[in-house]
Amino acid sequence: MVSLRFPFSFSQPPNPRHRSSNSFSAAATAFSVAAASGAAVAAAVAVSQNPINPFLQNAFNFFSNHSSPFWASLSIADNPSSVSESKTGVLFPSILNDSRQLLGTGLRKKSVLGLKNIDVYAFGVYADDGDLKRLLSEKYGKLSFSERKDLSKDLMEADICMTVRLQIVYSRLSIRSVRNAFEESVGSRLQKLGGSDNKELLHRFTSQFKDEYKIPKGSVIDLSRERGHVLRTTIDGKEVGNIQSQLLCRSILDLYIGEDPFDRRAKEEVELKLVSLLQK
């Protein structure tokens, strides 16, 4: 079990800042629903008056055949360039750096003293679309989702440009806590995958998270594998270091899509998306 140390109390003040935006969103949703209902009625009336018009018939069929509420798709229609992590509502861009596709999102949770779970950060896993098709499509392009046994392993080992984006959701998280957590989690993966003493490599990575960096709620940490297995780390868009090491890159990715990931649902989502992309 990977642990995460937090040298502070866990009380969290209420956050009333979003009330006005929520009211606006509710009003916008109500308006959109009313407009959709009006469009459905108009389509029905038009079809009854002109049943041979194929365009009107198609419009009527669209509204009448969708059993789920029309407003259920509003979040996608409003912002098609981002995806919401299901448990926190944190938004992730669908594409990073012009070519890295969002494969899945998840949540890093931590149990404190076995009594309370806190949401530490939401994360999104990205991979370069061109690299995926160039390096994995031949093997997986014609396989079904049930035949994906080695897909995550191959993704982690291949020289595919990837990014794991972390968005902080716990308001009292410190950079020191992040550093300590990576010492344990990445350290255990280095030991498992490397099988030898990698303390120097681990220190090079964790020392990038200096005390001078502040990570309030909403901060973004990007852990990116670049060409040649170079791990590049950025905090809120500022690069804080890069390390060339296939073992380190593999160990980082193993936390999110390995055999024992932080969020198993997120790993399954990544694999499902991969199969979909590789079969296009």
CA distance 76 to 74: 5
- Predicted pLDDT of residue 169: 97
Burial of 32 (0-12, 13-18, 19+ CB in 10 A): middle
Nearest to 208 by CA among 239, 238, 180, 241: 241
- Predicted pLDDT of residue 139: 87
- Predicted pLDDT of residue 55: 40
8 Å CB contact between 254 and 156: yes
pTM of this prediction? 0.72
Give how far Cα 29 sits from Cα of 24, 81, 104, 133, 259, Å: 9, 19, 26, 39, 41
Number of residues written out for the chain:
280
Domain ranges of the chain: 82-278
- CATH 2.40.30.10 for domain 82-278: no
8 Å CB contact between 171 and 12: yes
Q: Which two tokens stand for residue 237?
A: 């868009």
Q: Average pLDDT across each block of 10 residues of the chain; the chain has 280 residues. List them in order.
A: 41 41 42 43 41 42 40 38 96 96 96 83 98 92 79 95 98 94 96 91 97 96 98 98 98 97 96 90
- Predicted pLDDT of residue 257: 97
CA torsion angle for 241, 242, 248, 252 (degrees, to 10)? 60
Q: At what angle do helices 246-257 and 175-194 cross, to 10 degrees?
A: 110
- Predicted pLDDT of residue 3: 42
CB-facing half-sphere around the CA of 99: CA atoms within 13 A: 10
- Predicted pLDDT of residue 80: 58
